[in-house]
Amino acid sequence: MKLRPDETELTGEWRMVGREIEKDLTARRIEKLTQTILKRLGTDPSGWDTLYRDPDDGRLWELTFPDSDSEGGGPPRLAFLEVDAARRKYGAIVGSG
């Protein structure tokens, strides 16, 4: 369940099953990671993108919804973000760690 050191990006997918949206395993994993393992640091100025820190290795992870014009914001994408890029986008919430 935890993020492996070799992982840098997880992209979920959704598909329609009848009238319901079904999340694939990756989308469900992203949901679980952001709810139970990763530490939420805050959002960008738009309020849509969220920055997390992995408590195990300190890496920063960004939760986005690349297909945001889809109903419900579309499937999630969780991607590693370098500290400098995170500071530019998220500012002070990145901290010094």
Query: Are the beta carbons of 43 and 34 closer than 8 angstroms?
Result: no
Question: CA nearest 52: which of 64, 43, 63, 40?
Answer: 40
For residue 10, what is the enclosing H or E element?
Answer: strand 9-11
1-46 residue pLDDT tens: 899 999 999 999 988 888 888 899 999 999 999 999 999 999 998 8
Query: Are the beta carbons of 26 and 11 closer than 8 angstroms?
Result: yes
Write the Ramachandran bin of 17: left for phi over 0, alpha for psi from -120 to 50, otherwise beta.
Answer: beta
Is the pLDDT score of 52 beyond 70? yes
| pTM for the structure as a whole | 0.89
